[in-house]
């Protein structure tokens, strides 16, 4: 009686375990449950597609950062963007997906990307900043950087991203500037053609986290879109929203202008993706695949 009891117990255990083992096997052989680009250039963005029934416990790590997923309309696919900073060291980076039980790792190569160079000579008097200005610039930059670290993980944005103004790119993303022989930080956004007073639209849904007159970027607006993404609009002539305000995609947030240190009116439009400086035009182009 004792032996058969044990056998019965083992049999019951197997009955319970078999479906579990089968699922495990199916999982381990189902390749490409995550679709990712094999390589991304510096300043570039990768669109990830995750096919998964349950995303409750799903976690995606890219370059040691947690990535937020956005469900598709039919909920079968989840999307995520991963960003490669303009100056991220080229090499092989790990993309890790875990659902609490299974872990899948992919390697994405980051390659060096040359966005061109611009050499400028400006009068020494324009170049030099006095201590007071220098302190102001450092202070502004510190506070803006902090906003990128405070980013809320829950995505507020939805569907495709839109251009804030219709004008073409007049100064490309990523271009390096050498002023009077000294290399400055590369262009972290795109300059879009805009005359003074043109309406500037929010590129996606979010919350306004900064409306401020800054030394270099002039009247500046930053929108937090959640999921580690912020958008920036610089050199405005007027802001039509307040800090803390919720904005919808396409809503007019201000008017373009030439405030700050610029030679003429245009809109500087920038995107941060998990703190990485990435090409905003690529985000708009890639996001068309998500739709909405």
> Where on the chain is the footprint of Zn ion (CB under 5 A)?
191, 268
Q: How far is the CB of 191 from Zn ion (least distance, A)?
A: 4
> In Å, how far from its chain's centre is CA 39?
17
Question: In angstroms, rounded to a whole number, what is the distance separating the alpha carbons of residues 170 and 191?
Answer: 6
The residue number whose beta carbon is nearest to Zn ion equals 268
Say whether 130 sits in a helix, a strand or coil: coil
Q: What are the phi and psi torsion angles at 117 (to 5°)?
A: -140, 150
Closer CB to Zn ion, 191 or 224, in the complex: 191
Closer CB to Zn ion, 113 or 193, in the complex: 193
DSSP letter assigned to residue 140 = H
Q: Decide: 49 and 35 in contact? Cβ < 8 Å.
A: yes
Q: How far is the CB of 194 from Zn ion (least distance, A)?
A: 12
Six token digits for residue 87: 């100056």
Q: How far is the CB of 100 from Zn ion (least distance, A)?
A: 43
Six token digits for residue 155: 């995505």
Say whether 5 sits in a helix, a strand or coil: helix
Q: How far is the CB of 268 from Zn ion (least distance, A)?
A: 3
- Other beta carbons within 10 angstroms of residue 196's beta carbon come to 16
Closer CB to Zn ion, 225 or 268, in the complex: 268
Q: Decide: 55 and 35 in contact? Cβ < 8 Å.
A: no
Q: How far is the CB of 145 from Zn ion (least distance, A)?
A: 18
Closer CB to Zn ion, 97 or 272, in the complex: 272
Closer CB to Zn ion, 69 or 200, in the complex: 200
Closer CB to Zn ion, 39 or 212, in the complex: 212
Q: How far is the CB of 255 from Zn ion (least distance, A)?
A: 17
Q: Decide: 99 and 51 in contact? Cβ < 8 Å.
A: no
Strands 218-224 and 229-236: antiparallel
């Amino acid at each position: 009686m004792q032996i058969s009891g044990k056998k019965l117990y083992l049999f019951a255990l197997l009955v319970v375990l078999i479906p579990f083992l089968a699922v495990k096997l199916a999982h381990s052989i189902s390749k490409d449950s995550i679709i990712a680009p094999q390589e991304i250039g510096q300043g570039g963005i990768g669109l990830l597609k995750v096919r998964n029934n349950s995303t409750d416990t799903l976690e995606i790590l890219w370059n040691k950062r947690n990535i937020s997923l956005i469900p598709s309309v039919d909920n079968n696919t989840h999307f995520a963007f991963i960003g490669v900073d303009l100056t991220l060291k080229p090499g092989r980076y790990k993309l890790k997906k875990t659902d609490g039980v299974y872990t899948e790792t992919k390697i994405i190569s980051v390659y060096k990307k040359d966005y061109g160079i611009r050499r400028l000579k400006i009068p020494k008097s324009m170049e030099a900043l006095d201590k007071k200005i220098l302190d102001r610039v450092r202070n502004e930059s510190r506070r803006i950087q902090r906003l990128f670290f405070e980013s809320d993980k829950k995505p507020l944005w939805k569907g495709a991203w839109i251009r804030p103004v219709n004008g073409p790119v007049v100064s490309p993303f990523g271009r390096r500037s050498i002023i009077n022989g000294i290399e400055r930080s590369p262009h972290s956004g795109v300059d879009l053609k805009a005359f003074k007073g043109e309406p500037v639209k929010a590129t996606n849904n979010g919350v306004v986290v900064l409306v401020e007159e800054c030394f270099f970027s002039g009247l500046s607006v930053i929108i937090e879109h959640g999921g580690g993404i912020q958008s920036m609009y610089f050199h405005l002539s007027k802001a039509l929203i307040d800090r803390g305000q919720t904005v919808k995609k396409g809503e007019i947030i201000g008017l373009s202008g030439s405030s700050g240190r610029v030679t003429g009116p245009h809109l500087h439009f920038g995107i941060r993706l998990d703190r990485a400086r990435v090409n905003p035009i690529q985000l708009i182009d890639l996001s068309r695949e998500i739709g909405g």
